[in-house]
């Protein structure tokens, strides 16, 4: 069942196919909406668009973060309205678990449902090939477990998250590590990417400067890159070969679609074989309807 997204979105018939390594605009941008959209508005628009793909009877991966929160809220709303039925959610963090319980979404886990029909989640970075950086909110391991088990993984972002290459924002690329000798792990990680001008630091919580602890009882080392790290698969292998590393925030080749909400409209990028299909949507009749 298709689910209506916010009423100011009207689909346009613009569609192109492009190489994952080169993003090309297919049309001139539509006129800007008459009202100013906040970043949170854009996140909500992307989330509503993604929930269009939710159908009754699905097992859903419920993402974590400020954008995914809107998708979880919307799914709960549609369940309460009777427009969706027999949904089972698999949360990717304790925060999302608590949100879903509060909203009355039935929950399970990967042990009971090892195949997920659809996962919807945000991202901290999206590169031209739909590779992601996730985990700045600290939930990267559970997110990757659920989303790698999903038949379809829709990423929802605002346009500020688009980068030319992974690490291109020069913000954190997180790595989850066991607490034992974490400083040793930090030094080895930084050394791996010295060619990219890498620096790293242990993530701290707001509680008196103590180490941030993930839902899994681990620490996070945040890496920052001055330059492109190059081949992501080689970077992935190099990180995971280090003893003490649990996982990292690069989600390579997992996203099937990315929904990007910008001030001029929505762009939906979908993998079609080795190419990307791009669909454009404009804003029309903007009003407070979401």
Name the residues annotated as catalytic: 143
E strands, the chain, are: 9-18, 59-62, 88-91, 116-121, 125-126, 132-133, 150-158, 173-177, 199-202, 219-224, 245-248, 250-251, 257-262, 265-272, 275-283
Which strand ranges, in their side-by-side order, compose the sheet holding 245-248?
A: 199-202, 219-224, 173-177, 245-248
Distance from C-alpha of 169 to C-alpha of 172, rounded to nearest angstrom: 8
Nearest 10 degrees: CA dihedral of 165, 131, 41, 108?
-150
Report CA 8 to chain centroid distance, whole Å: 24
């Amino acid at each position: 069942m298709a689910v209506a997204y916010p009423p100011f979105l009207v689909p346009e018939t613009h569609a192109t196919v492009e190489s994952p390594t080169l993003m090309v605009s297919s049309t001139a941008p539509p006129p800007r909406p008459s009202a100013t959209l906040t970043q949170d508005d854009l996140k909500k628009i992307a989330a509503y668009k993604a929930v269009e793909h939710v159908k009754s009877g699905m097992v859903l991966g419920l993402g974590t973060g400020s954008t995914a929160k809107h998708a979880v809220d919307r799914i709960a709303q549609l369940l309460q309205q009777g427009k969706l039925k027999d949904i089972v959610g698999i949360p990717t963090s304790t925060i999302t678990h608590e949100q879903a319980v509060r909203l009355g979404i039935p929950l399970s886990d990967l042990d009971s449902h090892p195949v997920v029909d659809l996962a919807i989640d945000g991202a901290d970075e999206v590169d031209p090939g739909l590779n992601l950086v996730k985990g700045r909110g600290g939930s990267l391991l559970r997110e990757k477990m659920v989303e790698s088990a999903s038949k379809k993984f829709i990423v929802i972002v605002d346009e500020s998250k688009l980068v030319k290459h992974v690490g291109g924002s020069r913000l954190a690329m997180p790595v989850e590590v066991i607490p034992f000798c974490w400083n040793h792990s930090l030094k080895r990680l930084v050394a791996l990417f010295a060619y990219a001008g890498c620096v790293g630091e242990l993530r701290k919580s707001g509680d008196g400067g103590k180490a941030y602890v993930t839902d899994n009882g681990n620490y996070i080392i945040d890496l920052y890159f001055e330059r492109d790290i190059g081949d992501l698969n080689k970077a992935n292998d190099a990180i995971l070969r280090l003893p003490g590393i649990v996982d990292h925030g690069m989600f390579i080749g997992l996203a099937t679609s990315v929904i990007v909400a910008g001030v001029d409209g929505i762009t939906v990028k979908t993998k079609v074989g080795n190419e990307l299909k791009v669909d454009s949507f404009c804003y029309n009749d903007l009003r407070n309807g979401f």
